[in-house]
Copies of this chain bind each other. A is one copy, B any other.
Amino acid sequence: MDTEKLSAGICPVGRGLARAGDAWSMLILRDAGLGLTRFDDFQKSLGIAPNILTRRLATLVEAGMLERRRYSERPPRDAYVLTEAGRDYLPILQALGGWARKHFGEGAMSELVEAGTGRVVTPLVVDAETGAPLSDIAVTLRGPDDA
């Protein structure tokens, strides 16, 4: 897959996927959203090989979704913290989780809840202007040359 072409292409979905289009990256972002920042904690949570984790973290930093913050000089250690773009990505993962719960939710599963109250939260993708669920609206992509 030519992610470089995709990342500057005309399709917004493709641009998004070029930056966070694999399951490991998305699971790292999920964990970062749950408060994890350190290499060892990501590794333990995900059971991911260290070399793959190193590569994915570097890619997410380069894509502007995580930023490195040095928390120890000896030995040199970086924490990985969500940027604004990274935080903004979390609702998409939450919507994905809601979708999986709806269609593939057999057996024991974690629930998305409001911190503090514990109220169960159900994500829904809507049209920001009207509040209508996007699934109820017939949409299409209009190319930049179609205007």
Contact = CB atoms under 8 A, between A and B. Distances in A.
A36 interface: no
Contact of A139 (B6, B47, B115, B127): B115
Interface residues of A, number: 81
How many copies of the shown chain assemble into the complex? 2
A125 B124 contact: yes
Contact of A14 (B27, B88, B129): B27
Interface of A: 1-3, 6-8, 10-19, 21-24, 26-27, 30, 34, 47, 64, 84-85, 87-116, 118, 121-129, 131, 133-135, 137-145
23 contacts: A6-B23, A8-B106, A12-B110, A13-B27, A13-B30, A13-B100, A16-B104, A17-B27, A21-B23, A22-B22, A22-B23, A91-B133, A92-B96, A92-B125, A94-B125, A94-B139, A111-B142, A112-B140, A113-B141, A118-B142, A121-B134, A123-B127, A125-B126
